[in-house]
């Protein structure tokens, strides 16, 4: 009897107690693969998160066979810093170039190993396709294709990004249909929907390359794989093939909650990333019809991204790898669609920091039941180590989510987030935001006002306790 057959029998007989045994084997080829699906700017606005007007069947299917974390928070509401936390398991700087800054320190011996690097050191073939770190393909230079400037040294066996008509990764990052590259944002439409196959937008090419890599990785009988696939949409500009827009044309959307600009000291901003595109002279904060059109095009991009996830999952199944692969679907941060008068990320409000996280593997107990426990992105590194039977590096201070994977009622922990001039901590009831100038925001999520009413003055003891907890957590990890 083969080891795979024996492991399957063990799982069937012993259920939740068997999974760590299944993932440990003297034969390296019997270790589980890891498939990490990174989706840019993805709100937890999916059917599996209760938003039934969104068409996301592929992601919903992962959630149905795994565990969706309904209270997952990222470390930073911006791509580069959030991905730093994902790929290193550590808190870091708030900027988009955090990983490039880390790369410059590696030569001085100051930097512990990354998550993909750790798996590579332990016998995995590690491959990155698309936008996994901040730059698609993981390189620097003017067009993000300079092999002399590597964003994550000693991490990936291969790190790829097909650019096609978009010429280079920088062109693809903000590309629209049929090779349109952003030169001046004001001359590029903020949204569009063009007839054609998935490959008329960059993510179609990314997934084509990911499928080729899956074929290669599956044929290797000696090494398990860690494959990370980065999908750009629904990042700005909101462009997707027309077929993904069809379900949303004329769709009545729910009202935007708390759509006005907040008063007092906050991390509110003027949505500069969104507003710099061509909007045909319209402002969604003053034009509800235009706001709904923006929201519909964002939804179309979500469905397009979901279809790309589906293509990867179908190939994984066709290759016979599904039963021995840990699957992670992760959004790098949220995105405001008019809440607080913001169209974008970059704030420390709930909408910027709350993002999808789903983990799935064969034999998961209570599969399909979501967890309401608070968790954060940096927990993924120790979690995947435990699921793969690897030693968890002693420099990681995040928490393995394995107990919650066994039982969705297991407790989580407070989540830390940050921007350049402010830091935040979220617990079961409150969000605290502490500004560099000493001012604070405290929001009570048990109150109907939520993050629209600062209650710091009436809860000084909560402010003090949460601020101290946040500072201690950051000090342990930096």
Angle at 329 between CA 78 and CA 337, to 5 degrees: 45
Residue 189: strand, helix, or coil: strand
Q: What is the CA radius of gyration of the chain?
A: 22
User: Terminal CA-to-CA distance of the chain, rounded, Å?
Assistant: 49
Going from the C-alpha of 300 to that of each of 8, 245, 447, the distances in angstroms are 39, 5, 33
CA–CA separation, 107 vs 231, rounded Å? 30
Active site residue 79: yes
Out of 38, 48, 79, 385, which one is annotated catalytic? 79
Q: What is the DSSP string of 394-456?
A: TT--S---HHHHH-TTS----EEEE-SSEEEEE-SSEEEEEETTS-EEEEETTSTTBTTS--G
Q: Is 134 a catalytic residue?
A: yes
CB 332 within 8 A of CB 36: no
Question: Do 144 and 419 form a contact (C-beta atoms < 8 A)?
Answer: no
Catalytic pick from 70, 72, 134, 340?
134
Residue 393 exposed, middle or buried by CB count within 10 Å (0-12, 13-18, 19+): middle
The catalytic site residues sit at: 79, 134
């Amino acid at each position: 009897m083969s080891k795979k057959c024996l492991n399957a029998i063990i799982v069937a007989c012993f259920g939740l107690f068997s999974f760590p045994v299944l993932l440990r084997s003297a034969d390296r080829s019997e270790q589980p693969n890891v498939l990490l699906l990174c989706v840019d700017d993805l709100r937890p606005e999916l059917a599996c998160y209760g938003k039934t007007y969104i068409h996301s069947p592929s992601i919903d299917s992962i959630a149905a066979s795994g565990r969706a974390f309904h209270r997952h928070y990222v470390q930073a509401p911006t791509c580069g810093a959030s991905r730093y936390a994902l790929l290193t398991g550590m808190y870091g700087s708030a900027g988009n170039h955090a990983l490039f800054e880390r790369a410059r320190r590696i030569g001085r011996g100051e930097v512990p190993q990354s998550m993909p690097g750790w798996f590579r050191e332990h016998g995995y073939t590690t491959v990155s396709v698309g936008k996994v770190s901040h730059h698609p393909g993981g390189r620097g230079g003017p067009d993000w294709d300079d092999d002399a400037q590597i964003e994550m040294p000693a991490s990936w066996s291969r790190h790829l990004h097909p650019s096609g008509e978009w010429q280079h990764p920088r062109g693809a990052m903000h590309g629209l249909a049929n090779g349109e590259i952003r030169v001046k944002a004001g001359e590029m439409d903020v949204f569009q929907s063009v007839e054609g196959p998935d490959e008329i937008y960059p993510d179609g090419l990314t997934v084509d390359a990911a499928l080729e890599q899956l074929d290669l990785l599956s044929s290797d009988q000696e090494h398990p794989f860690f494959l990370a696939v980065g999908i750009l949409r629904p990042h700005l500009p909101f462009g997707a093939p027309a077929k993904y827009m069809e379900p949303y044309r004329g769709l009545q959307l729910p009202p935007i909650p708390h759509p006005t600009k907040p008063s007092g000291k906050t991390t509110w901003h003027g949505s500069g990333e969104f507003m710099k595109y061509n909007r045909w002279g319209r402002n969604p904060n003053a034009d509800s019809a235009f706001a709904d059109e923006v929201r519909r095009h964002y939804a179309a991009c979500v469905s397009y991204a979901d279809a790309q996830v589906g293509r990867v999952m179908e190939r994984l199944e066709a290759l016979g790898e599904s039963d021995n692969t840990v699957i992670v679907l992760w959004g790098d941060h949220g995105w405001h669609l008019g809440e607080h008068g913001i169209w974008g990320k970059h704030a420390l409000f709930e909408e910027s920091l709350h993002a999808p996280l789903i983990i799935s593997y064969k034999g998961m107990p209570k599969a399909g039941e979501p967890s309401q426990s608070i968790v954060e992105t940096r927990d993924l590194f120790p979690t995947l180590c435990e699921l793969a039977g690897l030693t968890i590096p002693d420099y990681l201070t995040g928490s393995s989510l394995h107990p919650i994977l066994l039982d969705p009622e297991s407790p989580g922990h407070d989540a830390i987030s940050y921007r350049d001039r402010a830091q935040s901590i979220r617990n079961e009831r409150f969000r605290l935001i502490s500004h560099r100038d000493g001012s604070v925001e405290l929001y009570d999520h048990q109150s109907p006002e939520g993050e629209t009413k600062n209650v710091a003055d009436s809860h000084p003891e909560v402010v003090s306790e949460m601020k101290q907890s946040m500072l201690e957590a950051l000090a342990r990890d930096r």
